[in-house]
Amino acid sequence: MQLTRTDVVDAAVALLDEYGLADLSMRRLATSLGVAPGALYWHVANKQALLGAVADRILLRAAATDLPAEDEWDARLLAVADALRDALLSHRDGAEVVAASLAARQVSVPIRDRLAEPVRAAGLAEDEADPAALAVLHFVLGATTDEQSRMQLDSLGALPDDEGPVALGTDAAAGFALGLTLFVDGIRHRVRTLER
């Protein structure tokens, strides 16, 4: 059977879910596929390109989400952000992989554009819509990275008892929803300010 790029990405996602990002190496991936490490480079240029392909796989789930009616920009923004969070949480270290791949410009799924569309529909000018969408994206990535880190620490029994920082005891989903609400409220306020 000939190895394909899809086979490589599928195996990388499986290893990510099983071992986490720190233990996802090209050597481990090659071993899991029963090939020499050099065989992987026919399909991905390097590990960063591999992680970009994994990030694209994660982001495709978020990008495929159905959105509410066009006249509800706020509901669309919340739906995209929620779908992104769900997609990131569906894979161990998913937020870290996507954040690193976005920083390295290795992602081809236009997730920022998907967030920017409802922001534009709210009435923000083009020169503010893209930075606003990027701020929402960074919020989703940061909040989800924190949530995944706490879940992993909890699974290892490494979280402090109740006397730890308040942030460790907060409900991640509720905090995430509140953060998104603050973004929506801020966008509404900015649009009203610009209309005056």
pLDDT in tens, 108-140: 999 999 999 999 999 998 899 999 999 999 999
For residues 134 and 132, what is the distance between their CA atoms, to the nearest angstrom?
5
Average pLDDT taken over every residue of the chain:
91
Q: For residue 136, which of 183, 82, 191, 185 has the smallest C-alpha distance? A: 183
H helix runs in 90-164, sequence order: 94-103, 111-122, 126-155
Which residues make Cβ contacts (< 8 Å) with residue 157, sequence separation at least 6? none
pLDDT in tens, 30-64: 999 999 999 999 999 999 999 999 999 999 999 98
Tokens read off for 72: 């509800």
Which residues make Cβ contacts (< 8 Å) with residue 75, sequence separation at least 6? 67, 68, 69
pLDDT band at 68 (very low <50, low <70, confident <90, very high): confident
Which residues make Cβ contacts (< 8 Å) with residue 177, sequence separation at least 6? none
What does pTM read for this prediction? 0.89
Q: How far, in whole angstroms, is CA 4 from its chain's centroid? A: 25
pLDDT band at 194 (very low <50, low <70, confident <90, very high): confident
DSSP 13-62: HHHHHHH-GGG--HHHHHHHHTS-HHHHTTT-SSHHHHHHHHHHHHHHHH
pLDDT band at 166 (very low <50, low <70, confident <90, very high): very low
For residue 85, give the amino acid letter. Answer: R
- pLDDT for the residue 150: 86
Task: Quote the percentage of the chain above a pLDDT of 90.
Answer: 79
For residues 54 and 90, what is the distance between their CA atoms, to the nearest angstrom?
13
